[in-house]
Each structure stands twice: as C-alpha cells, then as structure tokens.
Structure 1
Amino acid sequence: MTSTQTLPAVDHRGPVTGKERALAPDLIRGAMLLLIGLANSANFAFAGQPGVATSPHGFERVLNLLKLTFVDARAYPVFAVMFGYGLVQLARRQRASGATPGAVRRILLKRNAWLIAFGVAHATLLYFGDFLGAYGIVGIICTLFLLNRGDKFHRIIVRIWVFEICYVLFTAAQAVVAVLTSDGPAHQLTNEPNPSLAATSYGASVVARLHEYPLHTATVVGFIMVVWLGIWAARKQILEHPAAHKTLLTRVAVVALGITFLGGLPLALVGADVLHVDQDAVNALSTLSHISGMFGGPGYVALFGLLVARISKLSLPVRAISALGQRSLSGYLFQSVSWMVLLAPFTLDLRLGSTAYTAALIAIGVWVTSVLGAYAMSKRSYRGPAETLLRRLVY
C-alpha cells in the first residue's frame, strides 16, 4: 500500500520581489510624490494650509494658480487609489503562494496595524498632516469588510462615483450662484494656521502636533471611498495590463481630470488675485475645490496608466522615478525630515524672500534628491529603510 503525504498549507509568503512588480503603480507613486512635496513644503513654509501667498505678486500668482488647480486636494487621493490597489495585490500574491485565507487576513491586519504605528510616530516627530495612520485604519476596515467580497458587491463603488459626479455638479451650481450674488468686500485666500508649523521650538511643535494629528486623521479617513475604487481597479488588474484597458483609462482620465481641474480652477483664480468675490463665495469655491479634488485620484492614475501603455523602452528617468515609487514610504518620510530641517523656524528656516518660490524650489530639489537616492538603492538591490523595517515587522 502506497502512502501519500499531504503537504501542509502555507501560512504566508514573504514580501513582493522585484520581478513581480508592475511598472504603472511604481511610476505613479514615484511621480506623484512630487505633488505631495509641493503641497506639504508649502504648508511648512506658510505655517498653515493651503500654503499659498495671500497677497501674491508677479510669478507668485502663477504658482498659486498652478498649485490650487493641480495639486491641493488632488495629490493625496492618488495615493488613496494606489493604497487600495496595493491591498489587493498583496492579498493576491499571498493567495497565489498557497497562503491560507486566515494567514492572508493576519498579514494584512498586521501590516495595517504597523502603518498606524508608523503614522503616530511620523505625526508626533515630524508632521501633523500624516496619512499613514489613516491608511492603516482604512486598511483594517477594508481587510475586514471589503477585500473578500464578490464583483457584484464591488460594482457599488462605481455607482457611488457616478453619484459623486452629480454631487460635484450640484456643488458647482451653488458656487456659481455664490459668485454671481457676491456683493461684499473682496476676500483674499488666507492660510489656516497650524501651531505646530509655527512653533519656535521642537518641543512646542511636538505638543502642538499631538493636538492636531487626531483631528486631521479623523477628517481624512473618509477617503475610504477612494481606496475602495482602487480595490475595484486592482480586481480588474487595470494597471498590470494598461494597454488592454485603454478605452476605460481614456474615459476616466478625461472625465475625472476634467472635473478635478475645472473644480479647482475658480478657487485658483481667487488665489491668483484674478477673481475677486466675497467671503461666502470664497467658501463655496473652497468646498467645490475639495470635493472635486477627489477625482484627481482616479484621473491622475488613469493618465499614468495611459502613459505606461505607450512606453516601449524603460528610459533612465522612468527607471529612477519607478525606483522611488518602489520606496514611496521612505520617500514620503524623507520629505517630512527635509521640511523639518530646511523650513522649520527652529532649524535652518530657509523661508527666504518669497516663501512661494522657496517652497516650490525646495520641494523640487527634495524630490529630485529622493529620485536619485532611490535609483542608487535600486542599483544595490536595497529596498529602502522604511520598507525594510516594515517588512521585518510584518513578515
């Protein structure tokens, strides 16, 4: 009688290898860190949000226009889409290796719990506007209630986004009415102050961040709807095979970017000192800008998907930016360290002359430095310090 041996179920596998990575997600993450840098460096430079020159002159008006149209409230939704996409990729790789469903869930819950810990540390030590903790909270919710649902259930999110388009149009109509009926004194766009960014000592900044961070996190976890859209896209493997989804990506890019740019433009005109309306109208335009900004997530992702579909040869810039995308956690934390060292009042405080120019130049310089550093790490097959630590804690 021949005995058969049953192999034990695999508990879980290790982290993703370089050969398993798709180009589009990494390129998106690496490139969009530039927009994240432009937003956050300006917050530091102006010690508040949205981080724009309140009485712009000359090229400052152009900077305000570009930032409010293309960056503010439009960059971080991209990472929300990619976070949801990454959750599905991670779960799929674990299942493909033979990991048990319980093991897959444990890995995801453990990883997201550690993201919350990373976020608390990041917010306490460096920057109140941390998103890692919020990602961790949303990731746990998605792991428990969304990931294992069927296609029919996930189509709900597509219907929700159609409803969101209607809501943006309704908000736009309200904003138009507010502008047309504006009869008070012209109101300039101002920065809402953040005490932690204006603190004159590191200790005072830590205390202020401990007060600011919980509220900030509570106000941004609503991006779960953007994360859910990323989950839907990952189930379709849209970014792994962008050429096969050109029609869908084109439609999403045109519609979503059209909504997000047109929705942000009126407030940008106020910030550029071109449109002069009263405070009620500015508030209405600000609401429109933030609501339409959510469409920047799928819009930018679709645009980069189309770009990747056209890439036939990986040039050096593409490889370098993708290397940063593979190390986006380290790149994100490196930015916060850079803002603290270069812009905080109690460190180098390089807010010289026009803070708008300074913030933009420093953001570009820090991003380029991180791209070069990430490419150097990739040549040495080094994952990056934050990624290495997270993987060791999780796996």
Structure 2
Amino acid sequence: MTTTLSTQAPDHRGPVTGRERALAPDLIRGAMLLLIGLANGANFAFAGQPGLESAPHGVERVLNFLKLTFVDARAYPVFAVMFGYGLVQLARRQRSAGATAGAVRRILLKRNAWLIAFGLVHATLLYFGDFLGAYGIVGIICTLFLLNRGAKFHRLVFVVWAIMVVETVAIGARAVLAVMNSSGPAHPLTNEPNPSLAATSYFASIVDRLQEYPLHMATVLGVVVIVWLGIWAARKQLLENPAAHRTLLTRAAVICLGITFAGGVPLALVGAGWMHVDENAIGTLNLLSHTSGMFGGPGYVALFGLLITRIRRQSLPVRAISALGQRSLSGYLFQSVAWMALLAPFTLDLRLGSTAYTAALVAIGVWIVSVAGAYAMSLRSYRGPAETLLRRLVY
C-alpha cells in the first residue's frame, strides 16, 4: 500500500513583518503610551480617579491643569482610533496574501477573543482599568458588522461624529450656565476612590478588582464609535502616506484638538484651584471634559500624522519610540506591573512627599525604561513577550 503525503497551503498568512510596518502608527502608539502612563500611574498613586491633588499648591496646580487638559479622557481615545486602524491593516495584509474572506474573519475573531482573555488576566492580576477586554469585544463587533461594509456606509461615521459635536456644544453651554449660576460653597475636585488601588494586601486587591472591572469595561465599550473612525482612516490609508493627506490631517488636528482642549480647560481650572464653583457645576464640567475628550483621539492622531511629514530621517529617539509602538501591548502591560511594584501600598509604596510630583516622575521614568527596553528588543529582532504570545495563540 502506498501512502501519499500532501501538504496544503494555509488559507491565511502569518503576522506582519518589520518591513511592512508604517512609521506613523508605531510612533503614535509609542509616544501616546507616555500619556497613558501619566493617567494610570496617577490613579495608582492617589488610589482613585482622576488621580490628582485635591488641594494643590505651587507647581502642583500646573500639574493638575496640564493633566486635566491634555491627558485625562484624551489619551485612551488615541488607542481606540489606532485599534480600528490596526484591524483594517491586519485584514488587508491577509487578503493581499491570498487569504480567503472566511480565513480573515476567523483570524480577527480569534485575535480579539484572545484580547478579551488578556484583558481579564490583566484586570484580575494588575489593574482594574484595563482596556484590552473592551477592545476585544469591540473588535469582534467591528469584524462582524463593520469591516466588510462599503465606502458609502463608512461615511456614516461622520454623521455620528457631527451629532457628538452638537452634543458637546450643548454640554458646553450647560457648563457655562452652571459656572455663572454657581452659588453654593466652593467644592474642590476630589478623587473617586478605587478600593483595589488602596488595598493593603495583594489578595484583597484581586477581590476588589474583580468587582470593579465589569463596570469599567462596560463604560469603555462606547469607544466603538472612535474605533469606527479609525477603520475609515485606515481604509483611506491616511497614516501610510500622511503627506498626501496633509490638508485633511490639518483640519482634523485643528478642529478635534480645539474641541478637546477647550472642553478640558474649565475642569482643569477647577482642578488647579484657579476657579471655584459649587458641586453641581463640577458635575457638569466633568461631563464636558469626558465628552470632549473623545475628540482627542482623532486630534492627536492627526497631529502626529502631520509631524511624520516633517521627519526627514529616523533619529535614535524616533526609532526607539517606534520600537515601543511596535510592542505597545507589552509596553502597556509593563506599565501596570511597574505601578503595582512601585506604588501599591503592599509593595514599595513610593508615594513620598507630593504625590503629584511622584506620580508624574514615576510615569515618565517607567515610559523611558519601556522605550529603552523596546529598542533593545528591536535590535535583537524580538517582537516583545506579549506580542509573541498573542501571535502564537492566533496563528
């Protein structure tokens, strides 16, 4: 009896190679991890959100103002845009290599299912404010209902964003009236406590995180609209060739950053102690800050796209930050490990002196270490531990 062995070509290709990567997406992810670190590190340091000094003095006022204007509710939407962008890039590479439509869908669904698992582990062991699980759910929704739609359908995303602009302007008008009519006692901007961040033992922190994570994930699922915008941008390949889309990127940066910064300044003035309003007004200003924060996603992405057009050569800092962007999953998880080790009450608890100073310095230091580590990995052609594990599970 003769046995014939045959090999069948796989119906999909493997993960992206280094030569296929565009600079802009990686540079954006690497740089914006600094803002993610400033936000999450402060939450750990203050054991609550938004993570700032409730009674600031001196430079602490400036730190509060900068954080509320440029970071809080404005950093994570950038990764939502880039997540949608990445979904299209992954699907496009698979299709260009001859993968079938069914194979592309299976790859995307499998990858996003594993992101949900990564998020659950991350939230359980390290930090309740995980975004991976929510992105995984949103990724599955986008794979099933958005990715394969036509150009006409995807233009509807601008209708949604136009509605969001109107909503933000309406909330802004309410905020102005709330400030003008503020008559009660001045109310400082305080941190909403998170028990898991103040827990005095690791086991207690796990129990608290398991209770905090589901609610947090539910509040993050609204990023599907921001992810959709990233899908539209990737279909237009705005970041592969930003110079060809300079006018569009300029308009997006000016309009979106204008909205997001204008919406954040009123709450930032209260957080810095430079404006005093009653509790009712603070609630409205907080709503305005978070609603306008979503525009930080496309605004920052457009700004970085414009900056890319001015880069004539890739200097060492650009290559190093881009290396972190290529390993953004590992960089993101590394930050949570660092916060746990450095700031948790049951570990080193380095919250000494001014917590605002400590939080900012630790965040910057951790980001610099992650940049250096990512660049060292790139020199050795190592993808990063989290990326390597995810690719093995998916492919």
TM-score, normalized by the shorter chain, greater than 0.5: yes
Q: Matched residues in 1 for 2:58 and 2:355: separation? A: 13
Q: Matched residues in 2 for 1:196 and 1:204: separation? A: 7
Alignment partner, residue 387 of structure 1: 387
- What are the equivalent positions in structure 2 for 1:77-96 lying under 5 Å apart? 77-96=77-96
Alignment partner, residue 3 of structure 1: none
User: Once the 2 structures are TM-superposed, how far is the Cα of residue 198 of structure 1 from its aligned partner?
Assistant: 0.3
One-letter code aligned to 2:322: S
Q: What per-residue deviation string (whole Å, max 9, x for no partner) do you get for residues 202-249 of structure 1?
A: 000000000000010011101100000000000000000100000000
Q: Does 1:174 align with 2:174?
A: yes
Q: Matched residues in 1 for 2:184 and 2:277: separation? A: 7
Alignment partner, residue 283 of structure 2: 283
SS at match of 1:310: coil
Alignment partner, residue 222 of structure 2: 222
One-letter code aligned to 2:173: A
Q: Matched residues in 1 for 2:160 and 2:303: separation? A: 21
> What is the aligned-residue RMSD (CA, Å)?
0.9
SS at match of 1:55: coil
SS at match of 2:309: helix
Q: Matched residues in 1 for 2:9 and 2:106: separation? A: 15
One-letter code aligned to 1:231: I
- Is the 1:80–1:227 Cα contact (8 Å) retained in structure 2? yes
One-letter code aligned to 2:74: R
User: Once the 2 structures are TM-superposed, how far is the Cα of residue 163 of structure 1 from its aligned partner?
Assistant: 1.6
Alignment partner, residue 132 of structure 1: 132
Q: Matched residues in 2 for 1:326 and 1:8: separation? A: 31
SS at match of 1:94: helix
Runs of 4 or more consecutive aligned structure 1 residues displaced over 6 Å after TM superposition: none
Q: Matched residues in 1 for 2:332 and 2:347: separation? A: 20
User: Once the 2 structures are TM-superposed, how far is the Cα of residue 391 of structure 1 from its aligned partner?
Assistant: 0.2
Q: Matched residues in 2 for 1:310 and 1:235: separation? A: 23
TM-score, scaled relative to structure 2: 0.98
Alignment partner, residue 346 of structure 1: 346
- What are the equivalent positions in structure 2 for 1:219-298 lying under 5 Å apart? 219-298=219-298
Alignment partner, residue 4 of structure 2: none
Q: Matched residues in 2 for 1:10 and 1:382: separation? A: 24
One-letter code aligned to 1:283: G
Alignment partner, residue 71 of structure 2: 71
User: Once the 2 structures are TM-superposed, how far is the Cα of residue 9 of structure 1 from its aligned partner?
Assistant: 7.2
- What are the equivalent positions in structure 2 for 1:182-193 lying under 5 Å apart? 182-193=182-193
Q: Matched residues in 1 for 2:242 and 2:254: separation? A: 16
- What are the equivalent positions in structure 2 for 1:9-24 lying under 5 Å apart? 10-24=10-24
Q: Matched residues in 2 for 1:10 and 1:47: separation? A: 49
- Is the 1:61–1:273 Cα contact (8 Å) retained in structure 2? yes
Q: Matched residues in 2 for 1:9 and 1:87: separation? A: 24
Q: Matched residues in 2 for 1:201 and 1:220: separation? A: 27
Q: Matched residues in 2 for 1:162 and 1:18: separation? A: 37
Q: Matched residues in 2 for 1:11 and 1:279: separation? A: 59
Q: What per-residue deviation string (whole Å, max 9, x for no partner) do you get for residues 265-300 of structure 1?
A: 000000000000000101100000000000000000
Alignment partner, residue 4 of structure 1: none
- What are the equivalent positions in structure 2 for 1:118-157 lying under 5 Å apart? 118-157=118-157
Q: Does 1:210 align with 2:210?
A: yes
TM-score, scaled relative to structure 1: 0.98
Query: Runs of 5+ in structure 2 lacking a partner?
Result: 1-6
SS at match of 1:352: coil
Q: Matched residues in 2 for 1:36 and 1:228: separation? A: 21
Q: Matched residues in 1 for 2:321 and 2:159: separation? A: 34
Alignment partner, residue 378 of structure 2: 378
Q: Matched residues in 2 for 1:263 and 1:348: separation? A: 37
One-letter code aligned to 1:359: A
- Is the 1:73–1:289 Cα contact (8 Å) retained in structure 2? yes
Alignment partner, residue 326 of structure 1: 326
Query: Runs of 5+ in structure 1 lacking a partner?
Result: 1-6
Q: Matched residues in 1 for 2:218 and 2:254: separation? A: 31
Q: Matched residues in 2 for 1:189 and 1:141: separation? A: 36
Alignment partner, residue 301 of structure 1: 301
Alignment partner, residue 97 of structure 2: 97
User: Once the 2 structures are TM-superposed, how far is the Cα of residue 8 of structure 1 from its aligned partner?
Assistant: 7.0
Q: What per-residue deviation string (whole Å, max 9, x for no partner) do you get for residues 301-344 of structure 1?
A: 00000000111110110000000000000000000000000000
User: Once the 2 structures are TM-superposed, how far is the Cα of residue 159 of structure 1 from its aligned partner?
Assistant: 1.6
Q: Matched residues in 1 for 2:178 and 2:76: separation? A: 28
Q: Matched residues in 2 for 1:394 and 1:212: separation? A: 29
- What are the equivalent positions in structure 2 for 1:303-318 lying under 5 Å apart? 303-318=303-318
Aligned residues: 389
- Is the 1:330–1:385 Cα contact (8 Å) retained in structure 2? yes
Q: Matched residues in 2 for 1:54 and 1:8: separation? A: 64
Q: Matched residues in 2 for 1:236 and 1:137: separation? A: 24
One-letter code aligned to 2:329: L
Q: What per-residue deviation string (whole Å, max 9, x for no partner) do you get for residues 40-81 of structure 1?
A: 000000000000000001110000000000000000000000
Q: Matched residues in 2 for 1:160 and 1:114: separation? A: 29
Q: Does 1:34 align with 2:27?
A: no
User: Once the 2 structures are TM-superposed, how far is the Cα of residue 201 of structure 1 from its aligned partner?
Assistant: 0.1
Q: Matched residues in 2 for 1:127 and 1:330: separation? A: 15
SS at match of 1:186: coil
